[in-house]
Structure 1
Amino acid sequence: MNPRNIVFFLLLFAALPSLARINATVGHTIYYKKSAAGVYRPAPQVYWQVDPGSLRFFTNDKKQIVAQMRTDIVFSDAGGMLHEDHFVLRTPPRADVQGLSTLNILEQRQYVLERPIQGKVRMYMVITDMSDTFNAYTFTDSMDVSADTSRPFFSGLKLLAINDSAGRSIPLCANFLDDAQRTLYYNAELYNAGADKINASAYPIVRRVRLSKKPNEVFLPELMVTDTFTANVPAAAWGAIPIGRLTSGNYYLNISIEDKYSVPIASRSMFFQRMNTHPDKVEEVATRSMTEILKDTGMEKVTVLNMEKTFLAKYNMQQLRSILKMLLPVCDAMQTNTINGFLKKPDEMYMKYFIFNYFQDKDPKDPAKAWKEYSERVVEVNKKFNANGNAGYETDRGFIYLRYGKPTDVITVTGESGSLPYEIWQYNNLTQFGNKKELANSLFLFYKRSQAMTDYMLLHSTVPGEMMNPAWRNYLFTGNGASNAGFSMNSRAEQYFGATTR
């Protein structure tokens, strides 16, 4: 069938709801598949259940009672069609009408969307009774398939009707849990969580699955599953949470992995509804505690430590963002990724947690003191290196000063023939960032990209792990009055760095 005809066909049924008499429930979850080229592609999984009472059955040539349904599924984005599938489903045959009552018509399909996605993915689905083509069910929905695949990330969460030791895993097609369901079963997948993405220093990693009134906050403390891993977080997350005590209402299921400082590395949430007219009875004290939690839809954020009683209480969101930027010079790669994540998507509670835990690690007895000492260093850096409207800690010289401290010697060169203005920082002794190796006679070369600039940029260093640019001469020397090679053998930069890059 022509793709344009398919979309028209689907939209036609969507525009005629009065004809949609099949009773069905459709659910979907976004998983991801890694291609041979190492690219993660969205792989939506669709699962649906059909009420047999809404179908027209017929007797086949073997005198069996059956029904047939044609299913059309199309995925598209702003650029057009991404994938299509068309097939016929037949119900299991029954010998008599009474046998129809035991039918459980449940189907599940998964697709990989190979083409790069433009915006959100839209899914169109039509189920048509082949014995009565006017008896149809239509379903449309959009899916956000964007994910930062450079870091660990979760698939969508999926609710299960059952998940047992026999290996049965039946999807729950609706995000709705009724009286009969006393346990919430769930499934998710974790991607990109290898040793190259999660540093060994982050372990032990904690995986938490929690219920809440809002996404990723106001966690219900008695409804949580926690697993700790000292290495290799499993890719598959399966589990169950007893919900007999969970009263009727709207909730979120949240999954996350967190490093040893309780800072999230990856997380995912999904909305679900609960109908429970007969909550389980519990002890009186626990009942009061849970009742208060469940009645409160506007609670303050529940944390292990009340941040309003710490040194961070006085800081607003803008100030917290600034503090995170101040910490970049002294954070490792994983902490830097976490900070960059916060700067893109701020979360006040977790930002405060990260900052508090960082300084608590520096001084377990008095993290406020550790912050005060570091902030004093930042004030010093701001006085020395403020430029072009940027705070000193955001400049290259400020970054290196915060990371390694005051240099032993600073050589500033502004009038040298044939070169742009530059500075050489020399450290007689320096502790390499990261592996703590002691280095002697470490050098940093900063320069101004033009005579009009007011700040110096880092151009080259002899310290492993920092910017090492063997072609630094091509940037520093302009050739005006220098040697034919464009360099000045008598320049201070050549005297300090020449032997290291020849």
Structure 2
Amino acid sequence: MKRLFLFSFLLSLFLLSLSADGKTLRSLFAYNLFYLQTDNMPYIETYLSVNSSTVKFYKNSSNKYQSTLVITMSFKQNGKLIKYNKYNLRSLEFSDTTEVNDIFDMQRFSLANGVYDFDLSILDSVAGLGNEYNYSEKIEVKFNKDSIEMSSITMVDTIYKTINENILTKNGVDIYPRILNFYPDVYNKINVYAEVYNLNKHLGTDEKFIVRTSIFDANSNKDVKGYVLNKRESAKATNVILSEIPIDKLPSGNYFLEIKLLKRDDSEIVSGKIYFQRSNNIILEKNYYRNIVITNTFAGGISDLDTLREYIRCLSPLSSISEKQMADNFIRENDIVLLQKYFYEFWHKRNEKTPEKEWLNYLKNVQIVNAKYGSKVYKGYETDMGRVYLQYGAPNSISSSENEPSALPYQIWHYYKIGNYTNKRFVFYTPFLANNNYVLLHSDMIGEPNDERWKVKIYSRNNPAGDAENTEVESHFGDKLDDYFKNPR
């Protein structure tokens, strides 16, 4: 019952030149069908996500960047307008257009059973004509109020217990839907939500039944071994189905996720399914690592699983994003040989001739940061200072201030040279005076946090609010911050 469309608005060259900076508006649209028993009425839930990089932003009265889309949705039967909504969809406000998030919108419409002509219009009001799209589709709504019925299955990004009811609230939880049914390897699980109606009328109130959630191959229609979850439930007027299935080991491919309700005798009550795609490079990487030979290597000699896991965890400061993902997945397994091969290859890629020497030198630094920056809560390599030390080496100088009036405790690390970069600084501070955990606040090194209000935040000890637009601070008695930053000791 769920449909997914990827809109790519292709305009003529003339109109495209009039669009937002020559960009082509892109968005995702989907819908699901549910039944509200208190009103004896079905309803449709629509989801719209617009790629922010394809819309035009303007500076609003708060001097922030914002975009505005005009959305029009209508449902007609035989030319007669049944439901209609036209509204402005505004993005969040941003100080910098490089930091924008995609624009998300969700709407609900009560609709009686029947077939509807659905029309959707999206207009970038800032870009004006030329950045507009119109889409139409026939949608059928069909629920029997006396039969056992299942809603559409919703793929879910996140689920939270409801504090204040809002548009995302269903049966005591806030459901943040996932519009795109594509799961790259950074996703380790699938969460789904569905509702089943009238089980109490047909099975009897509180009668037990089984909810079986499974994954099967879309090409062969065969169940994927190891991906079946059974849960016992009791029949109610509306049963909420929340299921979570780990997919960290699921290979790349096309699949269906199926929710099936079964009686005690294993006969089917009702079922529904939803299509999704999986891309899992981690599985491919695992096959790659299995072919690595570690006989008579330093990695092959590490026989304690807990020690090996800890060694791999401490590699995080040097690891790429994909290496961190692989390490996290491999650590969860009990395959010590696979971990040994991963550990060996990690260092072999960095020093083919003497990987063990490279590791032992790094281990000495890990021991240093664990001793200097570790605590009862964090290992030294898990702290910001430990990470910077392990990634870039020991700083050439450290300027430290713990008792400067009006300032939170801070340290400024200075490096003469990092790779091809020279004269780089890292500013750490303790936002919470109750602990001694220094957090990286600001740096002029590429790829590191760069906060234009870093001085204001350090001098927030006696002025926690401050001016949100201000990036400079008034001079304070005993002020050393500028001097330490500009003239490292």
With normalisation by structure 2, the TM-score equals 0.48
With normalisation by structure 1, the TM-score equals 0.47
Structure (1/2) with the larger strand percentage: 2
* Structure number with bigger Rg: 1
